[in-house]
Amino acid sequence: MKKAWSGRFKEASHRLTEEFNASIGFDSRLYRFDIMGSVAHARVLVKAGILTAKEAKKIEAGLKAVEKEIDEGKLVFSVEMEDIHMAVEKRLTEIIGPLGGKLHTGRSRNDQVALDIRLYLRDQIYETVWLLQHLKKAIVEAAEKNIDAVMPGYTHLQRAQPVLFSHYMLAYYEMFKRDTERLFDSLDRMDEMPLGSGALAGSPYDLDRRLAAELLGFSRVTENSLDAVSDRDFVIEFLSASSILMMHISRLSEELVLWSSQEFGFIEFSDAFSTGSSIMPQKKNPDVAELGRGKAGRVYGNLVAMLTVMKALPLAYNKDMQEDKEPLFDTIDTVKAVLKVFEPMIKTMRVRTDRMVKATSEGFLNATDVADYLVRKGMPFREAHHVAGGAVAYCIERGKILEGLGLDEWKGFSPLFEGDIKKAVDIKTSLESRKVYGGTALSSVKKRLKAVRKELDKGCC
């Protein structure tokens, strides 16, 4: 097969070179966006006087025919085609004749691929955000369904203070909300149309780049032709946002894996989102959550790979940059797959509120409330902290709980204790005392849920 660039070459490409050089095996997924960009470019060429309206119409019809063939799986790709750009151009020329060769006037594969990736990634970001919205809704529904369920909050994976399960779940809503915002932020910086930058120096033809931007839905054009074709920071930014998103997925996964264990027993996954053991009949494994946790490392690897590819490249385009697509594609596929399966997994899990309440009653989660009680009586917090610690040690030695101490015992630690200490150390009182904005009190959580519902109903981040 004759190459579009073979004019100065006397030898044909070695088969190994063709196989090593080709990207058609993975960049073929860009075909729809490549054709979209080509249609816009043809219209720009008409305005520049390079194509007639009739020629552009014929080219556009040919491109639509190529798109239909690819949609239907009728166009077979081969390594000789090198990449999706050459594959589309070759088939277009076969359909409409030599006129197809005019389409590449004023552009390079360098600005063409920079455009295609932006168009593709823009589309995928919107889809990812849509999936993320559904996961956030599932989390909010779980919080609403179990709004007053009490559970231990943890630091260092040690029981710390009582919190509401709904408050706990809304913490992940906030994380995923920021992930949504990061994805939208990356869209804003990616919203630049590079076509017309040529190989690196711009085009010698009078191309209306703003017309191309308008036709393709970009708000602005790139300002520097070298930068437009040689950077992939918008890909890296998406990979970074995806890595942070997957970090949050991994943290949620870890919690769910722990909570589903017999040691915690806070939740139970639906059979539909669990697997068994090939040897131990009793097992019910949280494989979906574990895979979500594991796939975070895969996305991190894609980010590091892309940073490494770009870290020392001189301007402008280098073939190294062909390595941008597989990490990007893999990240998109991975993130979308995780989001798709996590939504129904969260929706169908059973929350074991009885186990949560039992865990909350153990471990002196109300010890801080003892110190706060003394502070309200006028004792400095550091002294109050010491007194409360002494009360805990006393209970541990005697196998008691703070709620079970009599007033005489309390007064043995400080004369400031009165009969109202019993209510002060009640778990419900502990929860309701935390009415500060953003706290775990039921009234605060209800307010936040109401605001969150409005956010979700508006479809915003």
Residue whose structure tokens are 């186990």? 355
DSSP of 263-287: TT-SEE--GGG-B--SS-TT--B-H
**Would you call 277 a catalytic residue per the annotation?**
yes
What span, in angstroms and rounded, lies between the C-alpha atoms of 319 and 337?
30
- H/E segment holding residue 163: strand 158-164
Return the SS3 of 153: strand
**145-160 burial, b if ≥16 CB within 10 A, otherwise e?**
ebbebbbbbbeeeebb
Q: Which of 78, 156, 186, 433 is catalytic?
A: 156
**Would you call 14 a catalytic residue per the annotation?**
no
| Closest of 405, 400, 409, 437 to residue 422, by C-alpha | 405
In angstroms, the Cα distances linking 13 to 18, 21, 22 are: 6, 10, 12
Give the bridge partners for 161, in sequence order.
Answer: 153
| Closest of 248, 239, 334, 347 to residue 291, by C-alpha | 334
In angstroms, the Cα distances linking 400 to 101, 364, 373, 374, 418 are: 87, 10, 20, 21, 19
- C-alpha radius of gyration, the chain, whole number: 31
Q: Which of 6, 78, 219, 277 is catalytic?
A: 277
Catalytic residues: 156, 277
